[in-house]
Amino acid sequence: MKWSELRKQYPNQFVLVEAISAYSQNGKRIIEEMVVIDRYHSVSDAWNGYKQQHKTFPGKELYIFHTSKEQIEVEEQYFIGIRGRV
């Protein structure tokens, strides 16, 4: 599903989506196709849903968006890791 279609189907809601077709360009993640995992009315519920899905399926590319946004923009951030005591 494209973002414009998703916005019409789920107006004014937080949505947890999985990117089905996406690529990187100029430090941004461009999501062409996505599927809705769930929808929420509060950001805290959406984050709880995200954490549960990420724990169960850590390999999925998941995002939370609010459908009031006309465009979505995802900046790529690289995780360096956590240094432990030696």
Q: Tell me how many domains the chain contains.
A: 1
Residue 57 and residue 45: Cα distance in Å, rounded? 18
Beta carbons of 14 and 66 less than 8 angstroms apart: yes
In a domain, 80, yes or no: no
In a domain, 11, yes or no: yes
Q: What is the pTM of this model?
A: 0.86
Print the domain residue range for 15: 3-75
Please provide the size of the chain in residues. 86
Two tokens at 76? 């790529």
Residue 86 and residue 78: Cα distance in Å, rounded? 24
In a domain, 85, yes or no: no
Q: What is the pLDDT along the chain (86 residues), one digit of tens a residue?
A: 999 999 999 999 999 999 999 999 999 999 999 999 999 999 999 999 999 999 999 999 999 999 999 999 999 987 777 766 65
